[in-house]
Amino acid sequence: MTIDTASPSDPLRRVLRALIAAIALSTAAFYFYTAWYGTYPALIQRSVLLGSAICLVFLGLAERSPATGAKRTLLITLVAVGVAASALTAGFIVVDFQNIAESAGFYGQTEVILASIMVIALLIATWFAFGAALPLIAIAFILYALFGRSMPDILSHRGLSWSSLMAGNYLTTKGVLGVPLGAVADVVLYFLVFSSFLAATGASDTFVRLSQLLVGRMRGGPAKIAVVGSGLLGSVSGSAVANVAASGTFTIPMMKRVGYSPHFSGAVEAVASSGSQIMPPVMGAAVFIMADMLQVGYSTIIMAAFFPALIYYTNLFFVVDLEAAKLELRGLDDFEKGQTVQLLKDSIFLLVPLGILFGMVLMQYSPRYAAIVSLAVLLLMNMVNPRHRLGPRALMNAMVDGMRSVAPITVAVAVAGIIVGVVEVTGLGLNLTTIMTAAAENSLLLLLILTMVSSIILGMGLPTVACYIILALIIAPVMVRLGVPPIAAHMFVFYFGTLSAITPPVALGSFTAAGIAGSAPLQTSFTSLRIALPAFLMPYLFVFQPGLLFQGDVTALLVPLVNSGLAVLGLSAATVGYFRGRIGLLRRAMFLIGALMAFAPDHLTDIAGALLIAAAIAIGELSRSKGETVTARGSARQ
């Protein structure tokens, strides 16, 4: 549905923007103040964020409302009720916290009514932010909690009353105010604000121009700019669709201009941007929740993610390079010396804060502290950089944008908290573990395939963080029970939830890129799937060989790293149909089979796969050599 936009002089629009700015800035002030001077109890700390986030989602909806008409009146009324409800319910916890803490789980009718209002407002806000899928799943879990006695034996439980279910969600840390929301309030918020300020200081343009300097002169340079630039930008933003929109408007037309097809150009950008959620240092909100669930340091997660992400982008680099060679595409012109010097100066002001962020995390500083220090360094450095210096209005806008980006993640995570609470209280997790184990018949491979399909399907309708929470709660324990290391199990479900952005039929990353490229959405999506094929095999490799996740000694890392490098080379050649010249069906099949064998977690198949890929390369080189010899003889006769 297309929504008309009112003029900037619309009085209501100005009021809404002022309210959004006031809520965003006051919430940011509260969290930065508590980060420095000490946090309040968890219920207060999290309820402030949840109340603010629901308000921001509702107000953002009203800001985009039609200019006039009955629809606008109805929408504004709904928004006003939603904002009042969220402010009232969050404010009650802050004001009455002492009584809540001393109630020992016995709550009155007032608390139950307020809890019901909060849950309803949260579900509506999430519906507006992400569509119907996540709220409907949460409602299904609420019904399961209420009518557990009527469930089949394997799923039955004693059932919960409405009052206990609502109060448990609202006034304890076992529901919407649980651990997932705590991760957003304690860590994610600060990283997203840092990302917002980074964008305000010109990070997107600088990263793309830096990529142009590094790889733009190579054949197919614009596609390689998309790969490198989207990886740099996405490693901070942690959002596939936002990354496509930010960098794709520049990279996709440039790729088309040098000769790549529209659907291939869109697919490259979609795949590069989707990798942002698996690329350290930020990796979206899910990584912080993963650290909490696994009870490990954030640095452990980003170290585990580093090599799979490196292989992901190496594959994409190979694909665009081979496609450029096949199409005989050229690179871009060289940077002028003055441009290069200025670009390097600009890059320092962005790369130094990023380096500090990454270094502090690896040195075991808390992620929140690392993000705040990096933000302070970024602002200090840009005060002395006249090209990117932020004035008071720009600083305020960056903070508001950062808090607005936190709001949809907050409501999604809070709704996922309802599901987490129901699973814990009803014992559903144990029951589902039994069901999944029986369905897989103790076959880990079958369980992995079922998990992959579940992750992709859920990821099509849910934000990555909500998809990860649900699957980490339900399926990851089954994988661990069958012998998978916990970090590999959680990374497996996280990976496939992320890849749903490029998986047909609902591939939001590919569809966004297709809109910019002017190509057919499904064709772009299937092209994305083809060129990202190694990414769909990678999780199986690190489940069976967790050394790739930095688990174990150097040998445990090097063997799967070398194997995956060979596999990526083989798959790239097979999917493009080119390796130092066009390749026929036989060599293409050799590259494909050899790559799949190299991915298999067995030393014999690894060796056989490597030999098959080497044979495919050798056949091509012999053919090239014979062709050159024949050409030389013909020239000599002439």
CA-angle at 178, arms to 406 and 478, nearest 5°: 105
Report the Cα–Cα distance between both ends of the chain, in Å, rounded: 70
CA-angle at 181, arms to 535 and 546, nearest 5°: 30
Say how many residues make up the chain. 638
- Per residue in 216-259, pLDDT (tens digit) is 777 777 777 777 777 666 666 556 676 777 677 777 887 888 78
Q: In this structure, are residues 236 and 281 in contact, taking their beta carbons and an 8 Å threshold? A: yes
pLDDT at 239: 63
Q: How many Cα neighbours within 13 Å face the side chain of 169? A: 35
Percent helix, percent strand, percent coil in the chain, to nearest 5: 80, 0, 20
Coil, strand or helix: which one is 147? coil
Q: Which two tokens stand for residue 624?
A: 């090239």
pLDDT at 236: 62
Average pLDDT, the chain: 83
What is the Cα gyration radius of the chain? Answer: 26
What's the pTM? 0.79
| Phi, then psi, of 582 in degrees rounded to 5 | -65, 145
Structure letter (DSSP) for residue 103: S
Which residues make beta-bridge pairs with 578?
Answer: 582
Coil, strand or helix: which one is 550? coil
Q: Which two tokens stand for residue 314?
A: 């190496």
Residue type, 163: S
Structure letter (DSSP) for residue 578: B
Q: Which two tokens stand for residue 204?
A: 């997107």
pLDDT at 447: 85
- Per residue in 499-513, pLDDT (tens digit) is 888 888 777 788 888
Q: Which two tokens stand for residue 52?
A: 């603010």
CA dist 211 and 204 (Å) reads: 11
Q: Which two tokens stand for residue 165?
A: 């279910």
Cis ω for the linkage preceding 505 (within 30 of 0): yes
CB atoms inside a 10 Å sphere around CB 182: 21
- Per residue in 543-559, pLDDT (tens digit) is 888 888 888 777 778 88
Region of residue 159 (phi > 0: left; psi between -120 and 50: alpha; otherwise: beta): left
Which residues make beta-bridge pairs with 582?
Answer: 578
pLDDT at 94: 92
Which residues of the chain fall short of a pLDDT of 70? 1-10, 65-69, 104-105, 204, 231-240, 242, 246, 282, 284, 332-339, 386-388, 440-442, 461, 626-638
Cis ω for the linkage preceding 386 (within 30 of 0): no
b/e burial code for range 117-149 (CB count within 10 A of at least 16 → b): bbbebbbbbbbbbbeebbbebbeebbebbeebe
Report in angstroms the alpha-carbon separations of 425 from 97, 174, 250, 575: 23, 9, 49, 48
Tell the residue number behind the tokens 């029986």, with chain if given: 438
| Phi, then psi, of 623 in degrees rounded to 5 | -65, -40
pLDDT at 5: 43
Q: In this structure, are residues 232 and 245 in contact, taking their beta carbons and an 8 Å threshold? A: no
390 contact partners, CB below 8 Å, separation of at least 6:
197, 200, 201, 379, 382, 398
Helix (H) or strand (E) holding 160, with range, is: none
DSSP string covering 247-278: HHHHHHHHHHHHT--HHHHHHHHHHHHHGGGG
Coil, strand or helix: which one is 151? coil
Q: In this structure, are residues 291 and 298 in contact, taking their beta carbons and an 8 Å threshold? A: yes
CA dist 192 and 150 (Å) reads: 44
